[in-house]
Structure 1
Amino acid sequence: MKRAERLHALSEMLRRSGARGRSAERLAREFGVSIRTVKRDLASLERSGAPIWSRPGPGGGYGMAVGASLPPVSLSAAQAVALMAAVSAAPDAPYADSAAAGVRKILDVLDPRTLARADELAGRVWVDAPPPASRAVRSALEDAMSEQRVIRIRYLSSDGTMTVRNVEPVLFASTGGQWHLVGWCRLRDAMRWFTVSRIERATVTMTACGDHTVDEVGEPPANAKPVHDRGE
């Protein structure tokens, strides 16, 4: 791992560790470097403006001040292209438009040299993505999920039956190459999976969702995990 990448990974690890912090010994093991190198890296982060704190003695260590402002994010060309590829390959994913806008913001603050390298590398990554569902439908589903409001959908089932249902959105799930809205169907009085591409119309109502939880959906596949499960 290059030093610039290690510094970024180190700052992210400290930020995620919260008030617990991490000892220099543990950080050294995590990155496969010496304790002296870790302390030199921490000093570099402090000089760059990162809000690093240290706690001496047994149980002490280093961490990132909660709520403090962080220096601008610095990505490598490969990291920037990875984000571009992920967003381009999943135009039908929930909040894909917001993700694309976020990537554009990141590209806008890259230094010219890194941006030029990212542009060149991006030309070597081709994506053949499926066409997304209706933007209006996706936007309504996203708003209903974020605001936890009942959504009224017109749904075409696999056997060709058209129904209108009020659904309490619980989660989005991707399986078998398709995105699904999983929620409590008030028509069937049960948890149901709705393929997003089969939802022909969606309207967010003013009715708040009940107390249905993700646990009611059942056990996810062994390889399924929430998108915030980034590891450490």
Structure 2
Amino acid sequence: MNRIDRLYAMREELRRAGRAGRTAEQLAAVFEVSLRTVKRDISALQQAGFPVWARLGRTGGYIVDEAATLPPVAFTPAEVAALAAALEAHRGQPFDGHGRAALTKILNVMAPSVREETARLAGRIWTNDNAAPHGARRMRTAVESALLERRVLALRYRDGEGAVTSRRVDPQLLAHTGDRWYLVARCRLRRGVRWFRLDRIEHASVTAEPAVDIPMEDIGEPPETARPAHVSR
């Protein structure tokens, strides 16, 4: 299990635990990692905005703040089928694994009859096969982890002329424009903000060094063919 998958699994384990919570020792046993890794993962979840906190005392452990979780939400088959179609069209692209994890959570809480109706409707929607090569998935996972954890990313990058260089970058955002995905990052080699095409990143690994955040206004406006993702109503 890679770290991104473990973080999501740990989050769901804590949700299921409810008020009882889970101790660091219990989480370490479940995920077969060290106590130090558990504490580092909990810190990453907290930095990402997940409402988990440590309860002190004899019955101590990590618990999720119930006041910060959502009540049950009802979805129609058409709504979930639309999400499934969007995820299929996005397969092989950044954060598609996270999206599929969210879809699985929705399906798991739907009534069996509604879930079957959703599956029938989704089966009538065909999309392109955008599956990425295994190496590309590993690279994409590293990029996602660096953005999530706000860590410096070590890259091996091939430019448009075929020259390969090693870079250490502070990841800022992902951009899709002109049918290409780019990692927009502060390049420590070039000492400025650069756009790295994801299909030209030959290798990527997350370092332990915290990344430097750059104000969005210093990065600039999105290109005409791009726009920010919005989650507000």
TM-score higher than 0.5: yes
Partner of 2:21: none
Q: Is the radius of gyration larger for structure 1 or structure 2?
A: 1
Code of the aligned partner of 2:193: M
Determine if the alignment matches structure 1 residue 81 to structure 2 residue 42: no
Moved more, 66-75 or 118-127: 66-75
**How many percent identity over aligned positions?**
39
Partner of 1:201: 203
Deviation at 1:69, TM superposition (A): 5.2
* SS of residue in 2 equivalent to 1:67: helix
Q: RMSD of aligned C-alpha atoms?
A: 1.9
Deviation at 1:172, TM superposition (A): 0.5
**TM-aligned CA distance change 1:215 to 1:92, over 3 Å:** farther
For the 8 Å contact 1:148–1:209, the answer to whether it is kept is yes
Determine if the alignment matches structure 1 residue 162 to structure 2 residue 167: no
Partner of 1:171: 173
Residues 177-200 of structure 1, C-alpha deviation per residue, up to 9 Å, x if partnerless?
A: 221100001111111001111111
What is the aligned residue count? Answer: 166
Q: TM-score, normalised by structure 1?
A: 0.66
Code of the aligned partner of 1:148: R
For the 8 Å contact 2:172–2:213, the answer to whether it is kept is no
After the TM superposition, list the runs of 4 or more consecutive aligned residues in structure 1 that deviate by more than 6 angstroms.
none
The runs of 5 or more residues in structure 1 that have no matched partner are: 1-65
Q: How far apart, in 1, do the equivalents of 2:124 and 2:225 lie? A: 29
Code of the aligned partner of 1:106: I
Q: How far apart, in 1, do the equivalents of 2:68 and 2:139 lie? A: 38
* SS of residue in 1 equivalent to 2:101: helix
Equivalent runs, 1:1-232 vs 2, <5 Å? 67=67, 70-132=70-132, 134-222=136-224, 224-227=226-229, 229-232=230-233
The runs of 5 or more residues in structure 2 that have no matched partner are: 1-65
